[in-house]
Structure 1
């Protein structure tokens, strides 16, 4: 058996350098488990350590369409061996299913977008008619297993939607589930992403959407030109010239904010200790929660301005769990009130 350490389970090496630097800065030993290929000796005991899964719902867009299944197998093996797992099997299922997220958020009393899940494509056009009561009103589509704005498009008429479904441009969801969702008009052209680590609030990110992209990933590796149709925030007269930075700290949203407190309780109930949760404030006074990202990434510009660091908070949290479990003597400690298992 090797020296206990933090093992990071993932499939995208491009996202790892900021995390590796944070673990090094905090003095926490870390090792990657890259689930693009490999093997498990099912008769063997997993190495001692804390295992953190940050498998992404968008892994199939990088040619890793089987990584979700690999992760399910590895997490089951680890959990049966009673290893400490952060972002375990239940959390993985939330990451790869917006239907599951929507249901749990709605059950917990959050305002969520009106949504219909459509299985397959043969009934998709009729489902859109049912969803809009046959009226030409704006609505959007999403992929159930999403991330990176996958399958997110705005439609202003049923004829437009019919033409899209019948065209070569139609994006088939990887799991066969397309979501039809009400189009929300934001009060201002941004959404907000709340970052949590160890079950505690870290900071809020203002994500500018005036350019009309559904690509909201904050990582440097995601900052590429987008050609996704539609807009998250439909604000008439919005100009892109002189627009604010795409990602910035929203300092007025603190741990005392009622939604932050409500989400903190919700995440604890769901055993999710590391996540970014997105919400929108609409023109009709709603505060709508619509996405949970359990493999959250961090934007360098936000990190430079934020009161705390997301990656450093993760390294301290996981280092604290490692020390509590194995008495490794790392300098890191888990945040007060942080759950031991996720």
Structure 2
């Protein structure tokens, strides 16, 4: 199969592909999604095949208006209406009880479905023109860093999907927050993402965090969190929070023959750079939004460098830093100082 690049003025062609049961990658405000008609089982299966994604890992559907939501969920509780009022369109996925003609593979055998309305003009126009909900996980090979540009998609999936709609680089850089509202009295974050727990609590009051986020022995319930994720080919280690300790770690690793790639804040970058190291910056330490937006693209860039190990600076688990650390911990094989 030849994968075709389309621009935002060629959405009619993308719609034709989707309606014929093909898979099309498209931009959202979070990462690029790999879309197929969520009501067409054969089309949805092509997503799993292209990504190499396990079949028991459910997908999120993307919609462009509330009328579509009403077709595919049993009811919309008041708490969901509040979230939609404040955060839709946007990077927040709601887990609700499903109904309607959704392909079985989308929900992985569950009686619930994840739904979101992306905050990207190309994504919204594509869904609206297609007139169907799009099942769309991140448009990468399963387990690899999620794609934030069309070229990232091409590297992973060229020849495996019908088309890629190029809408430029994404903004948020991390996937959506997944909020379970099946118990309206206990809104629970299954996956931290572009909408923070602090933001949700401002409008909902108490919000819970799913047990698996703090206890690795508990199985995750969220799409995209069941298996290893976000890892480049090169091993990723999480650095200590101390600059001095980090400097010592890097020196020791270089003495042992490692070729270091590193990903740190602006404040650390100049302190750690030398001619033997390949480095990228995450932006200002006080701006974790920049770090979140740059994480996946920088991991991909360092993976292309002649390095044997990628070292990444941790951020505080506050606000978007919670989602940043969630993805980094999934990508990493070691936290320095912890065996």
* Structure 1 and Structure 2 fold alike (TM over 0.5): no
Q: TM-score, normalised by structure 2?
A: 0.23
Q: Which has the higher helix share?
A: 2
